[in-house]
Chain A
Amino acid sequence: MDPRQEYFRAITRRHFFQQGALGLGAAALASMTGDSAEAAKLPSSGIGGLPTLPHFAPKAKRAIYLFMAGAPCQMDLFDYKPQMNEWYDKDLPESVRQGQRLTTMTSGQSRFPIAPSKFKFSPHGENGTMVSELLPYHAKMVDDIAIVKSVHTEAINHDPAITYICTGNQLPGRPSLGSWLSYGLGSMNANLPTFVVMTPNWSGRQQAQALYNRLWGAGFLPSKHSAVTLRKSGDPILFLSNPEGIDGSLRRRMLDSVSRINEETYRLSGDPETQSRIAQYEMAFRMQSSVPELVDLRQESQATLDMYGPDVSKPGTFAASCLLARRMVERDVRFVQIFHRGWDQHGNVAGDLPAQAKDVDQGAWALIQDLKMRGMLDDTLVVWGGEFGRTIYSQGGLSKQNYGRDHHPRCFTVWMAGGGIKPGLVHGETDDFSYNIVKDPVHISDMNATILHCLGIDHRKLSIPFQGLDVRLTGVEERHPVKELLI
């Protein structure tokens, strides 16, 4: 179909629904569409987004971002560097480092001894893609995903780096990726939030880098575009449950009064915000049933549960979060982001990295298989990666058995799969030291541009004037979606 035609069609549809939402109230809208989870879905063009979006026919309707906070060691997982075995405990040549700045955690080290990965790699998939023994499930799905080994950033410390990749700027205050999507594309489900974040447990060292609400915040956009965080214990969404002593029927009775009184207020004072408030209270009531239904994994078949592995039955694990993410995108939540912490292996790679990898390996694989089996992988984008890479040289003591790795912004590995992404691809190349990129560099903002592209957004055109700048997720420099990755 001609993308422009699709675009006009989307606008027409959306205008109808916006009219509907304003004129009739979302309650009426829901009654119009029935009450089931399926019926709560809205057109994929969404409601409440910008009329000019999507800019072209999107390949992905929704996205899941598996964020590995702390920065995984790329050369121990994906970026296979067999030559390094001969460099064990030798100094990183100055010709490789090229005077590049280091964090002050290792800039005082007298030596930069090379630590080859102690983990075994083997070829997998049609192209014999090398994957570390730490990721046996990933090894099984190399033909489903595109591995990008040449992602790079400028930031070298966690706080600025993770803020940068999540919001497009190293300083706080900018909208996050998900809030841009909510702002631009709107919602596809009347009963669930547009953007959901989960922060599962991790198994590596518990002294882990922090997250910040700003990573999924709305920055200077209205706060309704920030993520709703799904909590591991207690109410899955803050204040979802009625207080003890108030059951659903009493709450309904009470909300009927709220609605009737507010209707009268509207009749008397004519403020459209009052009508909007009536609609929000009705949505809140619907969320009280739609969210518990969403997080109830008992509805899943044993086969599905088995696929995600034994962790899936433990609340707050990465595997459980992956299954929840699938249930959300199934219900057309636009964007789900899972922040898995604990990847900051300054020391004890031997102990911590296998534990971290085990946390995510099967869940991520199962998510891709699950989406594929349900025919949803074609229009769901999945991204996996951290905020920067790690150094080939050891931080602290080096032995054949164990070593540590410092921050390294100049290259790291990210994989993408699903809606709009070519499967079975390896893109970009680093030098023998996994230190500098030698082919096809992909800046983190290029990657964000690619994500936006898959969702039908021209990253240059999604901008908001703020503080004298046309602020974009991808910043002011020239950036491009990585066309080699795109279908």
Chain B
Amino acid sequence: MSALTALALFIGRIGRHSALQPAGPPAERINGLWWLMFWCLTGVFILVLGALALALVSSHRRRLREPATPPAGATDPATERRMTRAVGGAIGLTVILLFVLLVASIATGRSISPLSAPKDALEVEVVGHQWWWQFEYADPDPSRIVSTANELHIPVGRAVKLRLTSRDVIHSFWVPNLNGKMDLIPGRNADTWIQADRPGVYRGQCAEFCGHQHAHMALEVIADPPERFDAWLAAQRQAAPLPASPLAQRGQQVFLSSSCPLCHAVQGTTAGSGVGPDLTHVASRRTLAAGTLPNNRGNLAGWILDPQSIKPGNRMPPTALSPADLEALLAYLESLR
């Protein structure tokens, strides 16, 4: 029952992601271009189909009208001249329309380019991994750099410049309500920017085929009012608190003595690997396994014990734990807020 409730909540909280429901300037400009093109080209489509229908009617009538069929291949010079004018005119109109659309496209392209992002933009580095997202909030002081996974928090109304790269294969960062996509390419950096003018949760998903679990490489952009965002960032800068309850303390021992630290980091402990997502504040996140599961106790347990049946082929191995150890580990992980 609780799983169902969680699911219902989960559904309710996810905003419908769509390129046509822009929530910030870049997506809005693209949306404008879309509707310009949509109406122009729909007009063209109707005109062409209309011309086709007219042509067929005229052609059919001509055949019925004529008692004797003229020799095959015969044409009428007057008709040919009229057709030449019509075709010439149509080509001319096509060229003009295309030119207009080209100009509109280039103008829109300039306005959404990373070069035209506002100068006060927040900077975040996005690193693609098979199959999860790493977000690093830049800071001149390395100890204040925040690293989180699959959940990009941004302040409402402020541009966010994203610097994209990948640790393995090519991925593509795409949150349709906020901007078009940009690839994350190993050995290269690419820039893009997003901005949300309304608070909310905007879903995105990897858009470049990146192997087995390309389908389960989602992310959420959470846009909060600036003060809430600042509070979140401040909280994320903290190392993990020492576990308070004895159960959680035991959980920490389970965590550190099992295979977890081989891939994961928890700031403030000896676990410091960067292979998998940083878990320092894992309990504060809304989803598990890159947007695959709502983050709750049941799903967390299932994910730890048998990640391969939830997301086959992903890099996380199954972990065998006694029920007591699992209980303790869950308590510990849930304390990482």
User: Do A and B share a complex?
Assistant: no
